[in-house]
Chain A
Amino acid sequence: MKKEKQSVDRELVDRSFFSRVEPYLYLLPFFLGIVVFTLYPVVNVVLMSFKEDYSYLSRSFTQWGFGNYRIVLSNRYFGQAVGNTIKYVLLVVPISTCIAVVVAYLLNQKLRFNALFQTAYFLPMVTSVTAVGLSWKLMYNQNFGIINYLLSFLGIDPVPWLVNASWSLPALVIFGIWNILPFTIILLLSGLQNIDPQYYTAARVDGSKSLRIFFRITVPLLAPTIFLVCIVNTISSFKVFSELYPLFSGKPGPFNNMYTVVYYIRKAMTDRKYAVAAAAAIILFLFIFAFTMIQTFVRKRMERRGQ
C-alpha cells in the first residue's frame, strides 16, 4: 500500500517539471508585454528623474542627483499645480462619491423609466472627454452658455466660469464630477446589487424607515465598494488633465492659474525637459501613494471599530 503510494508520488514528481512550468509559458506573452510597455518605461522614468541636465536626443547627462527634483520643487507653477490638484481631488472624489451613492441607490430601486435614467447617466462613459469638454466650454460661456441661462431663472447673475481666475477651479471640478460619475455609479450599482435584499426586509420588520435603512444597512454594506471607488477615483483625479485641456483651449486656466500636476508634466515634456517631467511624475506618484495609504489606513480603522 505504502509502496504503491510512493510510486504514484514518483510519477507526480516526474511529470511535475513540465506541469510546473506550463502555466508560466501561457503567462509569458502577456508578461513580455508588461515588461516592454510598462516595466521598462517605469524603471526608465525613475532613472531619468535622477539624471541631471539630461538630453533626450544624445541621452547624455552630467551626473546622478536630485537636481531635477530641486528644479521641480522650486518652480512656482509646480507649487500651484500641486495645490490645484489636491484641491481638485479633495472636491471631486467625495462629492462625486456621495452623488453616485444616491444616484446608484435610486437606480437600484425598481423605478419607472429606469432604462432612460441609466442611459442618461452612462452617456458620458461612451463619449470622449475632449469632445464633451468642448461642449462644456460652450455651456460655461458667460453670455451665451446654457448654465448661466439656467442660473438666471434662480436670479443668479452670469458667472464668469472660464474667464475669471477664481471660477476656474469650480468650473473644472463640476465638469470633473460629471465626467467621473458614470463609472462611479456603475461600480456602486454592482455593489448594491450584491447586497442580499433580505437585510432590507429584516430592517423593515425591525421597524426601520427607508432613511435609516439607507444609512445603517445600505451604506455600511456598500462600504467595500465605496472604498474601491474612492481609491480608483483618487488616482484618476490626481492625474486630471484631459478635463482641463479642452475647457481652457489648451491653456492652464485663463491666467495660467489652473496648472495641475499632469499639465505641468505635459508642459515640461513639450519643452523637452524630459528628466524634469520624470521627476514631477515621481513626485505625483508619491502623492498618490500617500493618499491611498491614508485611505487604506482609515478604512482599516473603521472596520476594526465596527458598530
Chain B
Amino acid sequence: MRVVLDHITKRFADVTAVSDFSATLNDGELVCLLGPSGCGKSTLLNMLSGILPVSDGKIFFDDEDVTMLPPEQRGIGLVFQNYALYPHMTVLGNICFPLETQHVPKEERLARANEIAKLVHVDMLMNRRPAELSGGQQQRVAIARALVKNPRLLLLDEPLSNLDARLRLEMREEIRRIQQRTGVTTIFVTHDQEEAMSISDHIVLMKLGVLQQNDLPQNLYNEPANQFVADFLGNPPINNLPGTVSGGAFITEEGDGVVKMPLFEGIADGRKVNLSVRSESFVLDPDGPLACEVTRVYQMGKEEMAYFKLGECDFRAYIDADEGLKVGNRVRLNLKKRGVFVFDRETGERIK
C-alpha cells in the first residue's frame, strides 16, 4: 500500500512536533523514519496509526483519505517500543486478540496465529506468558500480533532499542526477513543511523519535525540534501572545515589552506561555507592544498584512522597503513571527488 503524507502538521500546546511534513512511501517497502530523539518520529507514527489526530494536512493510504479514520479502522499493525504485550494473556492469546475483535472463527484464528508464530519463530512458546519471555522473544510476539490481522501497514516504533547490542543486530535481520516474506509496507522508526542504513529501502530523515530528505540510503550518504543530513549519517561523522569562498576557491578560516575544485566555481565571493569531507575522501598528496599535522593515529587493520590538525580545525581520515604516518608528521592532503560537499554555513543548504 502506498502511503501519502500531505502537508501534515501536529501542534501540541507549546510545541509543533511535526510541521508541514509531506512524503510518499512506496508500496511494499521498508521505510525508516530516522531522526534524533524528540524530533517527532513517534508523533508522526501515531498520526499514521490514528492514535493522535493531525492538526493539519491529510493522510492517504493508496487513494483513500484516512485522516479522520479511528485506529481500529485503518488496518494497521503497530509494534511498541516496549512491546505492550497483554501480561494476562499467553503468547497465543496475545496473537489471537486482534482476530477476536474481527470475529474470525476460532478454528481460523488458531490456524492463522500458528502460521504467523512459525514465521517469527515463536511457535514453541505459545503457552507462555509475556513475563516468561526474553526481550527478543517478546519482540517477535509483538510483531506476530501486529502481523496476524494482515495489516495494510506495519508500524514499528524504535522496536530494537530495548534489546542488547547483539540481539539488536539479530532482530534487525529478522525484521527485514519477515518484512520481505510478507511484503507488507513497513515504517520503522529509529534514531540509529546505522540501523536505518542497513535495513531500509528508503530513509525519511527528519529534524525538529521537519522533513530533511526522503531518499535511498546510499543517496542520503552520497548526496546529502543539507548539512544536517551530512552530519547525521556516517560513522565516523563527516569532517566540517569552515571557510570562505573566494575566486572560485575555498580558503580555510586561517587562510592556511586553499582548495581549488570545480565545486567552488560559481559560488559568490565571500560566502561563508563548510567544506564537508567524509573520512574516506582524503588522500595523501605532496602537492595537496591542505597542509596539516598528524595528532593521533589508530591502527585499524589495512587502514589507519589518522587525526589531523589544520589551523584550528581537527579532522579524521582513513589513510592506507602502508603510508606509515607518525604523530607529529606534517603532511599534505588532497580530496577525492566522492564524499566532498559544500554547505552554506548559515542555512546549512547544500551548494552544488
Contacts and interface: CB of A to CB of B under 8 A. Distances in A.
- Do they bind each other? yes
A307 B109 CA distance: 14
B51 A212 contact: no
B71 interface: yes
Interface in A180-218: 196, 198-199, 201-209, 212, 216-217
B149 A307 contact: no
A205 B88 contact: no
A205 B86 contact: no
Interface stretch (B89-97, B133-141, B221-229, B263-271): B89-97
Contacts of A217: 86
B80 A202 contact: yes
Contact of B72 (A208, A216, A223, A307): A208
B87 interface: yes
A221 interface: yes
Interface in A220-266: 220-221, 223
B225 to A, nearest CB: 33
Interface residues of B, number: 26
Given A223-B88, A307-B88, A206 B101 contact: yes
B90 to A, nearest CB: 6
A23 interface: no
B93 A207 contact: no
B84 A306 contact: no
A306 B131 CA distance: 13
Given A198-B80, A201-B51, A207 B87 contact: no
A207 B102 contact: yes
B149 A221 contact: no
B175 to A, nearest CB: 18
Q: Which bracket fits the contact residues of A?
A: 20 to 34
A205 B76 contact: yes
Contacts of A205: 49-51, 71-72, 76-78
Contacts, number: 62
A208 B103 CA distance: 11
B98 interface: yes
Contact of B97 (A196, A206, A221, A306): A206
B97 A198 contact: no
B72 A207 contact: yes
A212 B72 CA distance: 13
A204 B74 CA distance: 11
B84 A202 contact: yes
Nearest to A204: B71
A217 B101 CA distance: 13
B145 interface: yes
Contacts of A208: 72, 97, 101
A221 B101 contact: no
A219 B77 CA distance: 24
Nearest to A202: B84
Contacts of B101: 206-209, 212
B4 to A, nearest CB: 21
B98 A306 contact: no
Interface of A: 196, 198-199, 201-209, 212, 216-217, 220-221, 223, 306-307
Given A199-B84, A202-B84, A208-B97, 16 more contacts: A202-B78, A205-B51, A205-B72, A205-B77, A205-B78, A206-B149, A207-B98, A207-B149, A209-B72, A212-B101, A217-B86, A220-B86, A223-B88, A306-B88, A306-B90, A306-B93
19 contacts: A198-B84, A199-B84, A201-B51, A201-B80, A202-B84, A203-B97, A204-B70, A204-B71, A205-B51, A205-B71, A206-B72, A206-B101, A207-B98, A207-B101, A207-B102, A221-B87, A306-B88, A306-B89, A307-B93
